[in-house]
Amino acid sequence: MSQWLPVRGAITRLDTSLASNEDIEAFLERERIIARRHAEDDTYWIELAVTGRRRRVAVLNEAGEVEPGHPLATVVEKMDFEIRKLQIEIGGQVAWGDIDLGEVDVTLDDIDDCPPADAGEETAENLEKVDALQAEPPSFEEGPMLIVADTSLAQVPALAAQIEHPVAAFAHDGANVLLADVEMPVKAAFGQLPHYSMTFSVDPAGLENPKLTVVQDSSRLSWHWTYDKTDCDWVAANPQASAFAQEALGAGPFVTRICADLPGVDADAVRAALVGPGSQAPRAFPKALGLPEEVSDVLGELLEARQVPGATVFEPQRFKNRIKSQVAYEVSGQGLVHPGMWGVVRKVYLDNSRALAGVAGVQAAIGAGIVAFGARRIAKGTGGHVATAIGSAVIGSAGARMLVTRWVGKAMDAEGLRD
């Protein structure tokens, strides 16, 4: 089954007497391309779905089934060829309409300045780079921010120190929720990108709509509560095409991805929050996710993040305490390392402190015996330096194990993470 990703762009009619919106609609219908649009003046804003590395466009076949059609680059070229005087830019693919300049004088100098024959390939490569840049996260607002992700709590102490504000964290529907009164740098928050993350940012001045970014595997989608596109005419008249557009375009991809990673979420409530007014989103969207009402209060600056009931609050700390907190969450199984490994470590070292002390004592006694043996050999002038070094290392190892175990145990006790 294909995984569809929406791409958007604009088609500008350079000569409105030669190209009309109806011509564009007729082309989309002929090619059976499922698309949404918003036409304004001489610009036809468009959204369609693509899949795969070649970004093949979603079309409806004769059997009424959605399937991958031509690559996006081919569709753009074909549209530019069939409809005159268009400037097309969709998902990083660009085509410029031919402009008739009449007869002009050409000199040898002009010919020498022409680009080489392979310049088109270089341009295509540049367009791929432009398309990749579009996948970068948007610039978030400086106001309160909400992150829902399958990230670890061991990363949060460093995040709180970086933003110099407390971060409230709690588990929700199989993921961790992070909430702060200021913007949280997403890359710094995760260190390495998680499988799934959702970032919701609010403008503290209330002048801009909130911004939402959803990352799932390698795909990134952004929503700004300014969506104004509707189904193309032929799509609206076709039940199968319209149903696909509802799922793969507009708010559909966000609903699908959010519900896939938060199975307890009501899909209809999420869609209603996404298509509703942006001014209501700071309260409607967290509610649709099933988050406590206090989360909306934080986003609306009615409550500080540290005041959210039931949340673990990570205050900004100095490096020494921050590392201790991070290690405590890592060892408790809430870090980047697989929890099963830390389970063995806790069972061997932390849960059997008396046994560990006994083993360390025996190890230290053995080390002391080796040192004594080496000292006697040295006194007799028959060597023993190697034995003395080995014995000292054995004693040091036993002492270090005891010190580290006590340090980790105290760190976990301070965070309330002991079983």
Q: What is the pLDDT of residues 55-87, one digit of tens each?
A: 999 999 999 999 999 999 999 999 999 998 889
Q: What angle do CA 64, 217, 72 make, to 5 degrees?
A: 45
User: Contact at 8 Å (CB) between 134 and 92?
Assistant: yes
Burial class (CB in 10 A: 0-12, 13-18, 19+), 217: exposed
Number of H helices and number of E strands within the chain? 16, 15
CA gap 150, 158 in Å, rounded:
17
pTM of the model: 0.71
Q: What is the pLDDT of residues 237-276, one digit of tens each?
A: 999 999 999 999 999 999 999 999 899 999 999 999 999 9
Domain ranges of the chain: 5-133, 146-326, 339-414
Q: What is the pLDDT of residues 204-218, one digit of tens each?
A: 887 889 999 998 877
Q: What is the pLDDT of residues 302-346, one digit of tens each?
A: 999 999 999 989 899 887 777 767 666 666 656 555 555 545 455
CB environment 22-44: b (16+ within 10 A), e (fewer): ebbbebbbebbbbbbbebeeeeb
